[in-house]
Chain A
Amino acid sequence: MLQRTSYLTKRYGDSDGHTLAVYERDGGYQQAKRALQMDRAALIDEMKAANIRGRGGAGFPMGVKWSFMPWPPKPEKPHYLVINADEGEPGTFKDRTIMEKNPHSIVEGCIIGCFGIGAHAAYIYVRDELHLAKARLWEAIAEAKKKGYLGDKPFGIDYPVEVYVHTGAGAYICGEETSLLNSLEGKRGEPRLKPPFPAQAGAFGMPSTVNNLETIAIVPTALAMGGDNFSKLSAIHNLKDGGARLFGVSGHVNKPGIYECAVGLTLRELIYDLGGGVKGGELLAVIPGGSSCPILRAEEIVKAPDPKSPLHPYDGKSVLDVPLGVDTFRSLGTMLGTCCAIVLSDLADPVLAFHNLLQFYRHESCGQCTPCREGSAWLFRILDRIVQGEAEVAELDRLSEIASNIMGNTICAFGEGTAMPTLGFLLKFRRELEEFIVTKGKSGTRRLAL
């Protein structure tokens, strides 16, 4: 169901939309002030009722995550809120817009979040390349501080909160939350074994919560509306997937961009109604939520005869008509991920798209775990040989073998993030891959750009 909203994006078009004055004109910082005077348990209940599914990729319920923090905090073990704005997942460009155009929603979210998890400091981890985003965040922090909304007594209330921006230095893996924590601590960004989970031992070994940047930015809205009302904006509120969020679309569409809508939007609406339709040719396939999500072909039909499946209401329909939700897309055998779709027209060559993505994974594997380090390199080398016209059809089975050996055998989910799209391409584009190999590329369109 297409329902545009503008909770985060209302001021995106204003040249001064990022300033405190404009943010406050629309009621900004009222919720932070209110939250600091709330009962902590009541705040967490509101957040649980809001059914905010983490916007960073895994879709974990945010309120539940906050409730995992040990309580009460021990003085010798300060809690930390860590915000993930590494935004490195190919196809994902939503968090950057919030930082550049609505940074105060993040700062306000951080104040509420700190209170909710018992922290007095929040670190926003921003990838280094986003210089404007970092500058806007620092400006927003300075403005809020000057007004007395941050610091020792925010709004005159005795609950100190500081917010800092921390930068990475170019490494996709640092978006993985434990790698990010190592990077924040000044170490190599190699993921940590879990357990312990961040709620037990996170930043600086202390109890921590890692939230995606969009997740925290929507908190003031959810609190203002009341958790339940916020959740009910969503067409799939019944699946505990609530509220409104940012949807992105890139690739072969006429109007790529970020669109804020109530949860429940479908891929068809995202591609055709918001994205302006497929650019050049017809829709071939779509990667629903960042490159780690297995690809869907345009002609796929939902099979969900089981009434208990979240997909059952869409049984027999096109996958393009399934609401973009965490559980619906997991049941489709893919993932919602970051909710930023990459669209491929049938004039583009899916084999080259596959090759392009495997180059990314080979480049970004941090090298800590052998199956991922070696596996991602082997996968890319085979794809490269396919593209060069040097491979044999039998090697497709080797690709799936390698991918299967990465799955489940690595410290972090980068392994799955590499293996799953690989297995997805092999399953959905087997015929095209075989033809490409047999004809040494002559069967393909040999291009990605139109």
Chain B
Amino acid sequence: MTFALSDERERTLQEILSRYPTKMAATIPFLHLCQEQHGWVSDEICEYVAKRLDLSAAHVKGVATFYSLFNKEPVGKHQVWVCRTLPCALAGAENVLKHCEKRLGIHAGETTRDGKVTLRTAECLASCGSGPMMQVDRDYYENLTLAEVDKILDRVTR
């Protein structure tokens, strides 16, 4: 199967292109669109983006590999990030992470066998006054207790 953006995302791409004086500037938003659709950024996607923006595939791959939010391989259906940086650590982030690891039976950086959840640590997510916190897909969950973590994990592992 060859990769192509869905019609709706194609319209978004056209709008994105209109914001910048260069095509290259659309690289990151374009990669986000592709990842939204495909779940991760494959070599094929890098080539596709490069072709559409008149760039070299090497440039696009260089960009994709620089940024931690572009997945370089398939990930779980849900993505969970536990912030580990100092303010959250002072508020109990380590317990939250350990709890997630135990409940999911995986270490940070891994995906559950059923492909439902990828667990990762994150560096400071600009939520330091409401730690411990985690990001699940696009949402922030703050001032977490382990009971709340359980509820969230129940939902994503369902």
Residues of A participating in the B interface, judged by any CB pair closer than 8 Å: 78, 87-93, 95-96, 127-132, 164, 166-172, 183-190, 204, 248-252, 256-258, 287, 291, 340, 342, 344, 348, 353, 356-357, 359-360, 363-364, 366, 448-450
Contacts and interface: CB of A to CB of B under 8 A. Distances in A.
Interface in B24-81: 24-29, 31-32, 53, 55, 59, 62-63, 66-70
Contacts of B112: none
B126 A171 contact: no
Contacts of A169: 28, 31-32, 67-70
Nearest to B67: A169
Give 8 closest A-B pairs by Cβ, nearest first: A186-B27, A169-B67, A170-B69, A170-B68, A186-B24, A256-B129, A250-B128, A449-B92
Nearest to B66: A188
Contact of A164 (B19, B66, B85): B19
25 contacts: A78-B21, A88-B123, A92-B124, A93-B127, A95-B126, A127-B126, A129-B126, A169-B32, A171-B68, A184-B25, A186-B63, A189-B66, A204-B20, A248-B128, A250-B91, A250-B131, A251-B86, A251-B91, A256-B130, A291-B124, A342-B128, A344-B90, A448-B94, A449-B90, A449-B91
Given A90-B124, A129-B135, A250-B128, A188 B62 contact: yes
Given A168-B67, A356-B86, A186 B22 contact: yes
A39 to B, nearest CB: 28
Nearest to B125: A129
A95 B125 CA distance: 12
Given A93-B129, A169-B69, A448 B90 contact: yes
Nearest to B127: A93
B25 A91 contact: no
Given A186-B28, A187-B63, A356-B85, A88 B68 contact: no
Contacts of B26: 186
A189 B29 CA distance: 14
Nearest to A165: B19
Nearest to A86: B126
Contact of A250 (B68, B87, B94, B125): B87
Contacts of B94: 448-449
B10 to A, nearest CB: 19
Contact of A170 (B63, B67, B95): B67
Contacts of A188: 62-63, 66
A356 B66 contact: no
B126 A448 contact: no
Given A128-B69, A168-B28, A257-B129, A360 B90 contact: no
B100 interface: no
Given A170-B69, A186-B28, A342-B128, 13 more contacts: A90-B86, A167-B29, A169-B31, A169-B32, A169-B67, A170-B68, A171-B66, A185-B24, A186-B22, A249-B129, A250-B91, A448-B90, A449-B91
A449 B95 contact: yes
Contacts of B59: 187
B93 interface: yes
Contacts of B149: none
Contacts of A257: 129
B126 A353 contact: no
